[in-house]
Structure 1
Amino acid sequence: MPVFVITSGNKLDELGDVESALEEHCVVPPDGGWGWVVVAASFMCNFVVDGIIFSGGMLLTPIQKEFNASDGQVAPVNSLLAGFYLLAGPFVSALANKYGFRVVTIVGSLISSAAFAISYFATSVEYLYLVYGVVGGIGFCMVYMPAVLTVGFYFERWRALATGLALCGSGVGTFVFAPLTVALIDSLGWRATVVIHASLVLLCIIFGAMFKPINPVMVTLADQPEDDVSRRHEEAVEKLNSILKLHNKLDSGILMPSEMKFTNKVSPHTWMGVANNTRYPTAEEVFRGSNSHLSRRSSATASTLKNHINKPIHFIAVPVAEKDEQEESNSNNDNAEPLIPEPVKVVKDVKPRRSHVDLVARPLYRDDIFFGGSLARLPQYTSRTSLGYHLHVTHVPTQEDAQEERLGKCRICPEAVRRALVTLLDVSLFKSPTFIILTVSGFFTMLGFFVPYMYVKQRAELHGVGKASSVMLVSAIGVANIVGRIACGLVSSMPKVSPLWLNNIALSTGGIATMISGLCYDDFYQFGYCVVFGLSIACFASLRSILVVEYIGLEQLTNCFGLFLLFQGFGALLGAPIAGALMDMTKSYDISFYVSGGFLLFSAVMCFPVDYISRWEKSRNKLDSTPKV
């Protein structure tokens, strides 16, 4: 019975044709080089996008005066911008999965720039809701998401440092744009200011052009005697037949022997015609070899991988895994027997076809694409070589995906987009109490997150703080955010420090500080509050992916983040309008800050039992999976 593999041309070939068939490409982060240019470009994208969003509160007062609107009516202008900047995250990530970071960033820059420029002609606040808020927010998301994700694609050993440097652009942008926006409004008016913002957003086209795809290295079989090759092929086929229980499997379209094909049919765990990404095998499961380098970590890193690889990998066709077998496979992964015991060699300076590079480099097919911390925290990384880790976290593309890429088919919703959406919007996660707590906590955090950015200046001026000082309050939050991200990264990397407790203490501190921020309107007191608030929200942003990995698992990180973005987007959408409505009712910002601080404090309180609930949930799942006698 012939066994087939995917070649570099994505054609079916028999194993017997060793010289031409047994080769494939593998994406390995360069961990430097052009990656530092990508970090700088990502920094600038965050600088522009977050700088404009977090200084958006400066625009509200002049807009309110021109259209004679109330605080509650004008608040959605900036909250819609911030809300859709997060709400569109899953959909933008799916587009980036298909078309790449560079294209999505450039298109997003054009969309948001056009939206801001057209806002110059606004005739009502409702006009600004749609154009400036909704369209501008979607465009900003198309810049922000690739800028954040592409850094992790370029770095392995230095990922935490690179991600931290890139995200510091948010704090620097807040520091610069807050006084800049006020100065522009005073000199030119709010309409000209949004046009200048539009021109600055166009710079992201240049920065996005720097997000070039990583050229994969080619992994191919080393030359071996023909008798050894034939014998090992026969052993592999026998082992494959004993391992794969094909009769109950869904044919995912992953390349399989022709006589083993099944008709594609609807199954309980598929929608939009594809399955959740975790249902597809990882490259490690498919290409696992006999060399122990794949299962035990050595001194090899991404920077030396191209010169030091002797890792057996192979493209074997398997169907989508059922959940129970998938979990069993994951639990026994390190002890699994190799499928094809063949040594390989790496060919450097390969220039594969662009379509194949795009297929290999699907970012949302990786489990760790949203992880911004140090990979040294992950047992999946420390127990494997660099190549072994990348095989472990990468899920393979399907035959349909490969055909669409190779033939250049134009579809309204390609498989790479559908599969990413199904993964990012995995509602089955709501069966997990731990996930529900983290998600709802994130929603309440964002309800209170943007209120200080939008109203701290207006409140200070209302209570007699000088204009020069009040303008710099938002800038103080930005500076504290930079320091907080760096400090949080250092502290959370300490073995004895719990990321959960660090997150809870930070949010509790930020919430309490917001609630008591109106006790005194002395300049020193107000600046002190802004510094404390900036430090606390920096911890929230830095620790979210680490908490998911620790309490839910790396394999579910991509699934979790899609729903996190939706819930956080709704929180950002509602928070400022609630504060504005309270201002209209009470004629004071005090209640708005009490409520937003309460939201932050409540989000922290919700997370205190997460450790206990997570352990209970894992023991329950383990008990449920134990065979009944």
Structure 2
Amino acid sequence: MSQALERTEGGWAWVVLLASMVTQALTLGFPPCIGIFFEDLQRQFQASNSETSWFPSILTAMLHAGGPLCSILVERFGCRVTMMLGGLLACLGLVASSFCQSLWALYVTAGFISGLGMCFSFQSSITVLGLYFSRRRALANALASVGVSLGITLWPLLSRSLLEDLGWRGTFLVFGGVLLHCCVCGAVLRPMPPRAAPQAPAGPLLPPKTPGPGCLVACGRAARRHLAFDVLRENAAYRVYTLGVVWMILGFPLPHVFLVPYAQRHGVSEHKAALLISVIGFSNIFMRPLAGLLGGFRDFARHRKYLFSMAVLLNGLTNLVCVASADFWVLVGYCLVYSVSMSGIGALLFQVLMDLVPTERFSSALGLFTILESISILISPPLAGLLLDTTDNNFSYVFCMSSFFLISGALFMVGGFYALQRKEQQARRAEAEGVRPTAAQEPSLSPTDSKGAKKPPSTEVTCVTSV
């Protein structure tokens, strides 16, 4: 027990925090730099915008969709093994992609395999913080999120430099070695000492009287454990939030993929175009932890879902700047404002989810949430690429498309949450103004048990908000 207390919130916990920060920089910070390779891949494989867009969409979708599988591996093998396995898969995928001769092979290697490996490493780095931090968990998550901002800042600069000297194949080969450092980060995750379990009484082990569950039954139990379809069906607030996020995600990743090609198409040099993504990442270094800490304050906690919706609305309105002008300094200003809304979305996305679902169901609700989110991530860039192909590479339509999904998603969430809040207030008002039941009617509202003691009224209401 003393060993666990020494590690939890102690000196080694900060080493784990540093490893988590580096892992998030290597994994979650990588997809935004893919736009730098967009035109090179398009020329190499003689592909359309839509076909080339499938590569970053598959990579980012797997980074989110592998969450339930990652949680199973963490439960079975622990965070250390899962993170090291993720680093190995991410490395192998990118190294193999440097030898690809077709886009389909690139989808499998750099898209599917590397994306799944990044998911294992990234989500393990989030899970391990909950094991090492309790009182300072909010601070630890805020500091770890700085790694994402560092990755978004440094990956584009490294990509542009290596691309000029080595080409995209040599760059992906080097990136495979860089992502192998996730194994180093996983190696420093010391396993927490197991809790003392009560000893079973001595005696011979009897065989079970009933056969074990079949494969279908086991799969059904695993699905119910990791995918909260019942919460989606019964919790209206979770349903509004999930549908709103899935809709707005159709527009959210598009600037990360198409901003660099858009700037290059309008005469911005390759170095300056890559610098735009770094501007977003550098601003996020300061804005994302600040947004996370502000969202944790008591005065803001009651309105977190509305703050998230306002961040989504600001993100959508900001994208309209790219429709008006493609001047480099205008795009720099766009990136600065975009980073503010992006920080709010990234910092509040899972905090709002925690507010809307019970704590004991958060893990399964998160699993379903990330899978539905990954579907939107998968189809969003190819849909925008198809729009480019049909409009003669007019990027203005892409940013208008992004703004449409973000703005409409934000308005849907604000309207849905407000309607649920009004409905709950009316129910409370009706309950407060109701007539107190007579003695003859009281047992029907307060049922008694077999001993005659009164039980509290039933509270099986699943439509709960944070208001």
TM-score, normalised with respect to structure 1: 0.62
CA contact (8 A) 1:551 1:614 kept: no
Structure 1 84/625 Cα, relative in aligned 2: closer, same or farther at 3 Å? closer
Tell me, in whole angstroms, the C-alpha distance in 2 between the residues paired with 1:181 and 1:529.
Answer: 22
Q: Does residue 359 of structure 2 align to residue 554 of structure 1? A: yes
Aligned equivalent of 1:305? none
Aligned equivalent of 1:104? 82
Partner-residue secondary structure (3-state), 2:145: helix
Aligned equivalent of 2:386? 581
Aligned equivalent of 2:410? 604
What are the equivalent positions in structure 2 for 1:214-613 lying under 5 Å apart?
214-216=192-194, 218=196, 272-273=217-218, 418=222, 421-431=223-233, 432-497=235-300, 498-586=303-391, 587-608=393-414, 609-610=416-417, 612-613=419-420
CA contact (8 A) 2:388 2:395 kept: yes
- Cα distance, 1:55 vs structure 2: 0.6
1:65-105, CA deviations, whole angstroms, 9 ceiling, x for partnerless residues? Answer: 01111111111111111111111111111111111011111
Q: Does residue 20 of structure 2 align to residue 54 of structure 1? A: no
What is the identity, as a one-letter code, of the residue corresponding to 2:417? V
CA contact (8 A) 2:308 2:345 kept: yes
What is the identity, as a one-letter code, of the residue corresponding to 1:563? L
Quick check: which one's helix share is greater? Answer: 2
Structure 1 214/615 Cα, relative in aligned 2: closer, same or farther at 3 Å? farther
Tell me, in whole angstroms, the C-alpha distance in 2 between the residues paired with 1:517 and 1:540.
Answer: 20
Candidates 107, 114, 121, aligned match of 2:99: 121
Structure 1 163/617 Cα, relative in aligned 2: closer, same or farther at 3 Å? same
1:201-258, CA deviations, whole angstroms, 9 ceiling, x for partnerless residues? Answer: 11111111112221246599xxxxxxxxxxxxxxxxxxxxxxxxxxxxxxxxxxxxx9
**How large is the RMSD of aligned CA atoms in angstroms?**
3.0
Aligned equivalent of 1:298? none
Structure 1 616/80 Cα, relative in aligned 2: closer, same or farther at 3 Å? same
Aligned equivalent of 2:46? 68
Tell me, in whole angstroms, the C-alpha distance in 1 between the residues paired with 2:217 and 2:117.
Answer: 25
Give the gaps of 5 or more residues in structure 1.
1-23, 221-257, 277-417
1:166-197, CA deviations, whole angstroms, 9 ceiling, x for partnerless residues? Answer: 12111101100102101111111000000000
What is the identity, as a one-letter code, of the residue corresponding to 1:477? I
Partner-residue secondary structure (3-state), 1:582: helix
- Cα distance, 1:107 vs structure 2: 1.2
1:513-569, CA deviations, whole angstroms, 9 ceiling, x for partnerless residues? Answer: 113322122322211211222221222222123212323222221121001110111
TM-score, normalised with respect to structure 2: 0.83
Tell me, in whole angstroms, the C-alpha distance in 1 between the residues paired with 2:362 and 2:247.
Answer: 20
CA contact (8 A) 1:516 1:594 kept: no
CA contact (8 A) 1:551 1:611 kept: no
Give the gaps of 5 or more residues in structure 2.
199-204, 429-456, 462-467
Identity across matched positions, percent: 26
- Cα distance, 1:136 vs structure 2: 1.3
Structure 1 184/25 Cα, relative in aligned 2: closer, same or farther at 3 Å? same
Tell me, in whole angstroms, the C-alpha distance in 2 between the residues paired with 1:112 and 1:585.
Answer: 34
Task: State which structure, 1 or 2, has the greater radius of gyration over its C-alpha atoms.
Answer: 1
What is the identity, as a one-letter code, of the residue corresponding to 1:516? V
Tell me, in whole angstroms, the C-alpha distance in 1 between the residues paired with 2:113 and 2:154.
Answer: 24
Which one has more relative contact order, counting CA pairs under 8 Å at least 6 apart? 2
Q: Does residue 127 of structure 2 align to residue 149 of structure 1? A: yes
What are the equivalent positions in structure 2 for 1:149-188 lying under 5 Å apart?
149-188=127-166
1:261-313, CA deviations, whole angstroms, 9 ceiling, x for partnerless residues? Answer: 996898xxx9744896xxxxxxxxxxxxxxxxxxxxxxxxxxxxxxxxxxxxx
Tell me, in whole angstroms, the C-alpha distance in 2 between the residues paired with 1:515 and 1:272.
Answer: 50
CA contact (8 A) 2:145 2:289 kept: no
- Cα distance, 1:613 vs structure 2: 1.8
1:578-604, CA deviations, whole angstroms, 9 ceiling, x for partnerless residues? Answer: 111111111211111111121122221
Tell me, in whole angstroms, the C-alpha distance in 1 between the residues paired with 2:458 and 2:384.
Answer: 46
Tell me, in whole angstroms, the C-alpha distance in 2 between the residues paired with 1:614 and 1:448.
Answer: 27
